[in-house]
Structure 1
Amino acid sequence: MLLISCWLTAPLAARQELAERPGPALSFDQATEVLLQRSDSVRGDAMGLQAARDQVRAVRGLMLPSVSLDVLALRYQKTYDVSLHDLQQTGGSVADQLLGGLPGVTPGAASSAVDSVTSALQQALPGVFGALPRHVKLQFQQNLVSPNLTVVQPIYMGGAIRSTQAAAEAAAAAASAHGEAGVEQQRLLLVQAYFGQALAEQAVNVAQQDLDGYEHHLSDARKLEQQGVISHLRTMEMTVARDAAARQLLRAQGELKTSRDVLAVLLHQPGAVQLRTALFVNRLGPGSTQSFLDATEQGQPRLQEADAGVDLARQGIRMARAAFLPKLYAFGSYNMNRDHALPTQPDWVVGLGLHYTLNSPVDRRASLSVARAREGQAEARRDQLRQDLRTSVLRAYDMLDTARLEYLSLSSSQAAADENLRVHAVAFREGEDTAAELIEARNRRSQVQLQRAAAAYQYDLTLAGLLLASGQGEHFDDYLRRADRENVQ
């Protein structure tokens, strides 16, 4: 509908130019290949899937050790304040004790010499110790390059790492299923546009046949009027019918232009696509209802995406539980430039670390409750989707069978309408039938033709919907190749 509305807002000249521009001739399977190659939606889903798969690879090594190299270029200054007051007092006391003991241990003649030396030292030492400062301030600066190699090995993270990896895998599964569902949806849009153009072409053919027929009937009426067989009023009735057929042809041609450009836009084609596959109906049924229901459970992409969503929610619960548990890890660090290390830097260090959050600003119990609620929400959505898909399969199956039976019934009515028109046309030329009866016979025939084409289109569209609901959209071509296929001519 969006493509149609955008197209209707385009200038009439541009619409006619695009509609009349020649384009490629494509069968339905060829059109499918073109669509899947050029669809922006399919390309976007493919990029999303690639991102999800890359994320799986990104978190695959979370249990492996983390090795890092830190290189620091530093310039630092260090200042030391050393008090010498105690050293002065201690040094003076020790010197006094030593000098006081010298005369007593010096023999005879040397005693007077020692006494003189001792006397000189006693006079000099107080000045020496007094000259020492009461404190010393040491200050130095240094440029330093400090490379450190650090290794951290997770041992136990409370299950957070495994949950993160499982969540990434669930997200990748969801992205894959979403991409498949997108492809299925594109197939349905293609059936709608491709066979919608085929239906519009059938409408133009019927309208053209009607106009040609009414031109022929009007010519017969004028001849009969000239011969006096019918009145001028009957000729005017046929003229009015001819003009109505001409207007109907114009409307049908306008709808055909719109449908052609809708398909051209969908397939990114510069001009109108020439169809090589006609509207069709399979005379036999598509199979049992249960087979489609079973296929829905086994391979419906939207249901698979919902299952992945439930798995993702469950990993959220495990992540929330991991916040309550301690984390254990091993670590090691090696200084690669010991000669210029800071005084406080070790040469190397190894150890075990235990981290446990005693109080968190985030309410961990509430977070766990949120995760559980999201799991319940995901499960409820999956169950509702399963129910909706089963309903869609059953409804589409019944509509498909109805369209098939209606088409088969109209096929027999077509032959009767053709014969009825032929009889009334002959009778009118012979003056035995009225213009109104002939007009009614032709309108009835046209109505049967259009109803028959519409039933075939409804069959094709409903078949695509049934296959979409059951996750078998890629099997649409199988019905095109079946031996019981009947094309609408």
Structure 2
Amino acid sequence: MTNKVIQRLGLLLAAGTGLWGQGSMTVTDAIRKAWVDQAGLKAGQAMVDSRKAEAEGYRDLRLPTLTLQAQGVRTNEPMMAFGIKLNQARIGMADFNPLVLNHPDAIGAYGGSAVLQQPLYTGGRITAARKAGDFMAQAEAASQERRKQETALAVVQAYFGAEVAEQALKWVGDTETWVKGMEDFVGARVNQGLMLESELQRLKAFHAQVDAQKAEVVMQIRSARSGLGLLLGQGPVDGALATPLEPGTPAPAAAPARRPDLVAAELQAKAAGEGAKAAKGNNLPEVGLELGAGTLHHSWSQKGDWTWAGVGVKWKVFSAPDLAKARAAKAQAQAAKDMQIFKEQQAEHETRVAREAVTAAEARYAAAKDALAAAEESRRLREARHKEGLAPLIEVLDAEAAVQGARTLILQSLYELRVSRASLDLATGTPIEGVQP
């Protein structure tokens, strides 16, 4: 086996990023476990819950506001002292004495009030904010679905990358067994004086390369198991992988749903449009209703009570900051629409590329199978000729290197085929490996 083949196989093994945990598990089980236990997706779900809570808050803006206030005061400030007595309903003729008015004694009071405020018209701000909040909550939920599908793709890459590493280790073991058999054969011939000692030394050097390769593969597998454990929300895992690396014939898929990220982009554009309406409403008049009741005590039995009701109109006729905010919100709405268009174009591009990748992977896999069969037959013939003394050992080793190269190629093509199909599912919005959220 040449160093080039070893390097190629090592790079292939590096593509595997994990191995499923305890027991024999399928790729479907792995995907579902990642959806439940991965900390990154848990954080995404927390964002969804946060957006839902914000949306509920925006919906509640149309509800009335009740404010309760309690207070205690002691003062000799002339205006406040007179007003407190008036609110306590205990103004007398003596209180109009200029000396008392100008220099009142300190007075104390305690009491409270209740005020109910109800917005009647706010220039459309409340309605727009409510719609924007709902759209953002829905957009975050759609984004979470997209994150789950992206995680599913990562699990597929890790899962089948681990299978590649496991199969590579098996083939390294086959090569090791083959080398040992060749060493026994060549050693016997050397002892009989039918072969040179250099032939046996060449095999021992080849055997050392296989041992080094085996150590590298073992390291890659351990790294792979740790990587998949990270995706699944746990530590390094072990166990058998039940889903075969070689894919079967894909079943006819139903029409895919719209991609969640495109749904999210559309909802974000709608939310930005409603945000622009809300910002514009800041420059429109608002009408509100206010109901209130208050009391102020001099003592428990001596007090004054009052109520009030009113409808008011407020209009900021000109506010430069609010006008600037309205322009900014309008620009943000346009940016969100343009981003939606771009993401739709990007999705079309990704779908085209993914379809081409699947076609290419299928062709490479078919070619790799033929190459492996040819390499194994060539090795068999050269080994037979070598045993008959008709071919040098170097030709047999070259044939073995060709077999290893063909095995590497078939593992690469299988891995690429499996991942490219999952990538196509992600691009079209089809559930990856048929796993539904």
Fold shared, TM-score > 0.5 on shorter chain: yes
Question: How much has 1:363 moved relative to structure 2?
Answer: 4.9
Question: How much has 1:213 moved relative to structure 2?
Answer: 0.7
Question: How much has 1:445 moved relative to structure 2?
Answer: 1.9
Counterpart of 1:446 in structure 2: which amino acid? Q
Q: Aligned to 2:331, which of 370, 373, 378?
A: 373
The answer for the alignment partner of 1:230 in structure 2 is: 195
Deviates more, 1:46-55 or 1:428-437: 428-437
The answer for the alignment partner of 2:86 in structure 1 is: none
1:446 aligns to 2:404 (yes or no): yes
Q: Aligned to 2:181, which of 203, 211, 216?
A: 216
Counterpart of 1:30 in structure 2: which amino acid? D
CA distance in 1, matches of 2:198, 2:188: 14
Q: Aligned to 1:187, which of 127, 140, 152?
A: 152
The answer for the alignment partner of 2:128 in structure 1 is: 163
Deviations 1:369-409 (A, max 9, x none): 21221112112212111111211111112112221232233
TM-score, with length taken from structure 1: 0.74
CA distance in 1, matches of 2:105, 2:214: 101
Deviates more, 1:219-228 or 1:186-195: 219-228
Identity fraction in percent: 18
Secondary structure of the residue that 1:273 maps to in structure 2?
A: coil
Counterpart of 2:34 in structure 1: which amino acid? L
- Unpaired runs of 5+ residues, structure 1, are 1-18, 81-134, 479-489
CA distance in 2, matches of 1:280, 1:42: 26
Question: How much has 1:74 moved relative to structure 2?
Answer: 2.7
Counterpart of 2:39 in structure 1: which amino acid? D
CA distance in 2, matches of 1:372, 1:398: 40
Question: How much has 1:249 moved relative to structure 2?
Answer: 2.0
Q: Aligned to 1:137, which of 95, 99, 112?
A: 99
- Whether the aligned pair in 2 keeps the contact of 1:70 and 1:148 (CA below 8 Å) is yes
CA distance in 1, matches of 2:151, 2:337: 27
The answer for the alignment partner of 1:66 in structure 2 is: 65
Question: How much has 1:347 moved relative to structure 2?
Answer: 2.0
Alpha-carbon spacing, 1:287–1:185, altered in 2? closer, same or farther (3 Å): same
- Whether the aligned pair in 2 keeps the contact of 1:279 and 1:457 (CA below 8 Å) is no
Question: How much has 1:279 moved relative to structure 2?
Answer: 4.5
- Unpaired runs of 5+ residues, structure 2, are 1-17, 80-96
CA distance in 1, matches of 2:122, 2:98: 52
Alpha-carbon spacing, 1:79–1:45, altered in 2? closer, same or farther (3 Å): closer
1:308 aligns to 2:267 (yes or no): yes
The answer for the alignment partner of 2:13 in structure 1 is: none
Counterpart of 2:262 in structure 1: which amino acid? L
- Structure-to-structure mapping, 1:360-399, within 5 angstroms: 360-364=319-323, 366-399=324-357
Question: How much has 1:158 moved relative to structure 2?
Answer: 0.1
RMSD: 3.0
Secondary structure of the residue that 2:110 maps to in structure 1?
A: strand
- Whether the aligned pair in 2 keeps the contact of 1:24 and 1:272 (CA below 8 Å) is no
1:429 aligns to 2:387 (yes or no): yes
- Whether the aligned pair in 2 keeps the contact of 1:420 and 1:441 (CA below 8 Å) is yes
CA distance in 1, matches of 2:258, 2:298: 66
CA distance in 2, matches of 1:474, 1:259: 21
CA distance in 2, matches of 1:384, 1:469: 15
Question: How much has 1:449 moved relative to structure 2?
Answer: 1.9
Deviations 1:111-162 (A, max 9, x none): xxxxxxxxxxxxxxxxxxxxxxxx7623455432332222212111000001
CA distance in 2, matches of 1:470, 1:52: 27
Question: How much has 1:186 moved relative to structure 2?
Answer: 1.5
Secondary structure of the residue that 1:277 maps to in structure 2?
A: coil
Secondary structure of the residue that 1:72 maps to in structure 2?
A: strand
1:174 aligns to 2:139 (yes or no): yes
- Whether the aligned pair in 1 keeps the contact of 2:386 and 2:396 (CA below 8 Å) is yes
Question: How much has 1:476 moved relative to structure 2?
Answer: 4.1
Counterpart of 2:245 in structure 1: which amino acid? F
Alpha-carbon spacing, 1:323–1:272, altered in 2? closer, same or farther (3 Å): closer
The answer for the alignment partner of 1:114 in structure 2 is: none
The answer for the alignment partner of 2:430 in structure 1 is: 472
The answer for the alignment partner of 2:372 in structure 1 is: 414
CA distance in 2, matches of 1:236, 1:335: 105
The ranges of structure 1 where at least 4 consecutive aligned residues each deviate by more than 6 angstroms after the TM superposition are 338-341
Secondary structure of the residue that 2:309 maps to in structure 1?
A: strand
Alpha-carbon spacing, 1:466–1:286, altered in 2? closer, same or farther (3 Å): farther
The answer for the alignment partner of 2:415 in structure 1 is: 457
- Whether the aligned pair in 2 keeps the contact of 1:224 and 1:429 (CA below 8 Å) is no
- Whether the aligned pair in 1 keeps the contact of 2:291 and 2:308 (CA below 8 Å) is yes
The answer for the alignment partner of 1:273 in structure 2 is: 238
Alpha-carbon spacing, 1:461–1:76, altered in 2? closer, same or farther (3 Å): same
State the structure with more CA Rg: 1
- Whether the aligned pair in 2 keeps the contact of 1:146 and 1:340 (CA below 8 Å) is no
CA distance in 1, matches of 2:380, 2:430: 45
Number of equivalent positions: 397
Counterpart of 1:137 in structure 2: which amino acid? L
CA distance in 1, matches of 2:212, 2:64: 79
- Whether the aligned pair in 2 keeps the contact of 1:317 and 1:368 (CA below 8 Å) is yes
Counterpart of 1:168 in structure 2: which amino acid? G
Deviates more, 1:152-161 or 1:455-464: 455-464
The answer for the alignment partner of 1:353 in structure 2 is: 312
Counterpart of 1:260 in structure 2: which amino acid? R
The answer for the alignment partner of 2:84 in structure 1 is: none
The answer for the alignment partner of 1:334 in structure 2 is: 293
- Whether the aligned pair in 2 keeps the contact of 1:77 and 1:141 (CA below 8 Å) is yes
Secondary structure of the residue that 1:179 maps to in structure 2?
A: helix
Counterpart of 1:191 in structure 2: which amino acid? V
CA distance in 1, matches of 2:132, 2:350: 31
Structure with the greater relative contact order (CA < 8 A, sep ≥ 6): 1 or 2?
2
Alpha-carbon spacing, 1:463–1:215, altered in 2? closer, same or farther (3 Å): same
- Whether the aligned pair in 2 keeps the contact of 1:35 and 1:266 (CA below 8 Å) is yes
1:320 aligns to 2:279 (yes or no): yes
CA distance in 2, matches of 1:407, 1:40: 36
Secondary structure of the residue that 1:149 maps to in structure 2?
A: strand
- Whether the aligned pair in 2 keeps the contact of 1:211 and 1:242 (CA below 8 Å) is yes
- Whether the aligned pair in 2 keeps the contact of 1:156 and 1:327 (CA below 8 Å) is yes
Counterpart of 1:41 in structure 2: which amino acid? G
CA distance in 1, matches of 2:377, 2:352: 38
CA distance in 2, matches of 1:324, 1:27: 59
The answer for the alignment partner of 1:37 in structure 2 is: 36
CA distance in 2, matches of 1:299, 1:416: 45
- Whether the aligned pair in 2 keeps the contact of 1:198 and 1:275 (CA below 8 Å) is no
